[in-house]
């Protein structure tokens, strides 16, 4: 079944949202050391550059569907794209860390507006199930390509010599793309009919944002400030208010009132294990890129360009593995994931051995990153399918939203805790590995332990092929990759 040129145009326009979101999620990883040096930033400030982007995005996911129905999906997509473009200008022209952080938060909020609407519009435009699946497949491929391009550009752009403070290009490059996407979406994408009867509750979004900030702030700033009393009290208060927030939502659910969560999901053992596995896995995923990018540039004399090129090999490994295992996931999901986790754990051990060399050859590093990417590509596409395996059709949408929120929270926790451990540990040798710092060794060890926790959760899950459940749509699989 072939697409018309008009169909392909719609897919491309609506994929620009996820393309920009993913690029800016990955492009910053390699660029952080250059930005930190240019603006003379503290370690905690560099963590906030990523965390605020993710928190802004996650806070809007709760009401993304209702907001699209109320305002109109096309209108919200264009508004989100315009906001992302303006926020990119603010980031690119920032003269201090406060403007940069504000720009990153606005980028995240804008992404929370446009990314869900892009998926929803594709689903709406393609009524035929086979065409819709193909369209979402193209959409997912563009998201995967964006992650590789982001790593590469994150290395190439900061090393440009024709412009002062060339790291600003990682944000300014979004401007022409965003402007063209706004015009194209406004002119070419069919308008959907808004539903004014839909309700949007801003209080839960604000509550989630405050709770996330309260949880993450002491974890980021505490180690650098040697854990002052206010950071401990803030963390304790945030935990208490989180429990009260969940208790209130549960009460609303039991009394039949509108609640953010359908608590029936949490009676499902498979769903709970899947959430724990996702929590542990995503704490490792982004932390890995930040830690290794920082370590290569600061300790192994790699340039930003060399580091970005190295991470491309990780992306290639991911793509190769995800294509290879796709045919086995439906019937051998557990075995595929456990094999991938084994490769990732082995890969992290090899990182310690390879990076213990005084001088690391680029071809050796590329092979190492490719091997680790094979593990990632075997695990990531299957995690959401396993978590939602026994969720009924009526609850898949709600379950997906909870899963994606946990996913974003996990990335923040990984940056706060695992990356924080790396940034604030001393530079002494790690055990008998004389050329590995304690900081890198400790962060890598914690990552290995978290992956082993993921493996324990997967072992406790039933095999995919043993029980018939509801099929997870291409859209949910796609959201998992995002």
pLDDT digits (tens, 9 = 90+) for 311-334: 999 999 988 888 887 676 666 668
CATH C-level class of 262-482: mainly alpha
d(CA 323, CA 444): 27
pLDDT for the residue 110 = 94
- What percentage of the chain's residues is helix, strand, coil (to nearest 5)? 80, 0, 20
Domain ranges for the chain: 1-192, 202-257, 262-482
Tokens for 313? 């090999």
Q: Distance of CA 370 to CAs 92, 382, 445, Å?
A: 32, 19, 20
d(CA 244, CA 242): 5
pLDDT for the residue 476 = 43
Please say whether the beta carbons of 191 and 72 come within 8 A: yes
Tokens for 444? 């890598």
pLDDT for the residue 153 = 93
CB count within 10 Å of CB 322 equals 23
d(CA 360, CA 343): 21
d(CA 146, CA 340): 22
- From the options 1.20.1250.20, 2.40.128.110, 2.60.40.2550, 3.40.80.10, give the CATH code of 1-192: 1.20.1250.20
List CB contacts of 382: < 8 A, sequence separation 6 or more: 325, 329, 333, 336, 337, 340
Single pTM value for the model: 0.86
pLDDT tens over the chain, length 482 residues: 577 888 889 889 999 999 999 999 999 989 999 999 999 988 889 999 999 999 999 888 777 777 888 888 899 999 999 999 999 999 999 989 999 999 999 999 999 889 888 888 888 888 877 788 788 778 877 888 888 899 899 999 999 888 888 999 999 999 999 999 999 999 998 888 887 777 777 777 788 788 888 888 998 888 888 889 999 999 999 999 989 888 888 888 888 777 777 777 888 888 889 899 999 999 999 899 999 999 999 888 899 999 999 999 999 998 888 888 767 666 666 888 899 999 999 999 999 999 998 888 999 999 999 999 999 988 887 887 778 777 776 677 677 778 888 888 899 999 999 998 898 776 678 887 888 889 999 999 999 999 999 999 999 877 654 444 443 443 444 444 44
Rounded to 10 degrees, the C-alpha dihedral 413/418/421/427 comes to -160
pLDDT for the residue 281 = 95
**Is 262-482 in the same CATH topology as 1-192?**
yes
Question: What distance, in Å, lies between the first and last C-alpha atoms of the chain?
Answer: 26
């Amino acid at each position: 079944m072939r697409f018309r040129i008009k169909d392909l145009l719609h897919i491309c326009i609506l994929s620009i949202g996820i393309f920009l979101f993913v690029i800016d999620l990955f492009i910053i990883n390699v660029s952080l050391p250059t930005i930190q040096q240019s603006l003379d930033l503290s370690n905690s400030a560099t963590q906030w550059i990523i965390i605020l982007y993710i928190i802004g995005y996650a806070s809007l996911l709760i009401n993304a569907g209702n907001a699209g129905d109320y305002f109109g999906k096309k209108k919200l997509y264009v508004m989100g794209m315009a906001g992302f473009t303006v926020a990119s200008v603010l980031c690119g022209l920032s003269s201090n860390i406060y403007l940069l952080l504000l720009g990153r938060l606005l980028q995240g909020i804008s992404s929370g507006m446009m990314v869900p609407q892009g998926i929803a519009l594709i689903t709406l435009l393609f009524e035929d199930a086979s065409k819709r699946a193909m369209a979402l497949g193209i959409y997912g491929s563009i998201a995967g390509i964006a992650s590789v391009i982001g790593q590469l550009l994150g290395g190439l752009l900061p090393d440009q010599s024709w412009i002062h403070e060339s790291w600003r290009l990682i944000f300014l490059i979004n401007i022409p793309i965003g402007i063209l996407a706004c015009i194209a979406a406004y002119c070419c994408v069919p308008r959907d009919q808004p539903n004014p009867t839909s309700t949007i509750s801003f209080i839960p979004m604000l509550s989630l944002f405050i709770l996330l900030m309260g949880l993450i702030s002491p974890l980021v700033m505490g180690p650098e400030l040697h854990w002052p009393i206010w950071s401990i009290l803030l963390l304790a208060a945030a935990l208490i208010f989180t429990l009260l927030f969940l208790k209130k939502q549960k009460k609303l659910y039991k009394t039949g009132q509108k609640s953010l969560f359908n608590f029936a999901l949490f009676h499902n053992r498979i769903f709970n294990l899947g959430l724990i596995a996702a929590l542990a896995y995503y704490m490792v995923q982004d932390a890995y890129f930040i830690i290794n990018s920082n370590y290569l540039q600061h300790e192994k004399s790699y340039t930003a360009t060399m580091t970005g090129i190295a991470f491309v090999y990780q992306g290639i490994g991911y793509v190769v593995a995800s294509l290879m295992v796709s045919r086995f996931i439906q019937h051998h999901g557990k075995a595929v994931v456990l094999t991938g986790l084994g490769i990732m754990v082995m890969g992290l051990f090899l990182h310690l051995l390879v990076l213990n060399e005084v001088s690391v050859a680029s071809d050796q590093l590329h092979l190492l990153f490719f091997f680790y990417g094979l593990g990632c590509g075997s695990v990531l596409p299957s995690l959401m399918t396993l978590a939602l395996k026994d969720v009924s059709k009526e609850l898949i949408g709600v379950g997906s939203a909870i899963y994606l929120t946990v996913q974003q929270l996990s990335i923040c926790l990984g940056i706060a805790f695992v990356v924080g451990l790396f940034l604030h540990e001393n530079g002494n040798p790690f055990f008998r590995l004389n050329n590995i710092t304690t900081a890198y060794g400790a962060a890598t060890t914690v990552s290995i332990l978290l992956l082993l926790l993921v493996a324990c959760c997967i072992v406790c899950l039933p095999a995919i092929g043993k029980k018939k459940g509801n099929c997870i749509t291409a859209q949910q699989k796609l959201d998992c990759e995002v």
